Amino acid sequence: MKHFKWEPRGKRRIHATPNAGEIAACRPWLDAELGLIKPDVLICLGATAAQTLLGRQFRVSKERGRFVVSALATYVIATVRPSSILRAPDEGARRAEMDRFIADLKPVGAVLRRRRAA
């Protein structure tokens, strides 16, 4: 979403989930940008973005990597936030999560290649 909120943890800045008021305050800017750009493809990165744009019932854990019907764009898809991959407990888990992330985005690549070829 448009709001960037973080918490210090040692030398690191950890992203924090915005509250409903912060999301509501930033939503007009996002809506204006979407209205101007009129994207063909929209990728929601993380649960906060997906639930804000696709509804509170949306679950990235269940629906990631699949296109969903939405008036926001012709193709709308959701996946995890890339920073979540870095928090996997070990290298093997990070590799597995990166592979899942790449697999989530492959449908977008296919759409873009088809559109470019047309």
**Spatial contact of 64 and 42, defined as CB atoms under 8 Å apart:** no
Length of the chain: 118
* DSSP, res 71: T
Q: Where are the domains of the chain?
A: 1-38, 39-118
pLDDT attached to residue 75: 98
Q: Taking the model in full, what pTM does it have?
A: 0.87
**pLDDT tens track for 16-70:** 888 999 989 989 999 999 999 999 999 999 999 999 999 999 999 999 999 999 9
Q: How far apart are CA 90 and CA 109, in angstroms?
A: 28
State which amino acid sits at residue 85.
I
Q: What is the fold, at CATH topology level, of the domain defined by 39-118?
A: Uracil-DNA Glycosylase, subunit E (3.40.470)
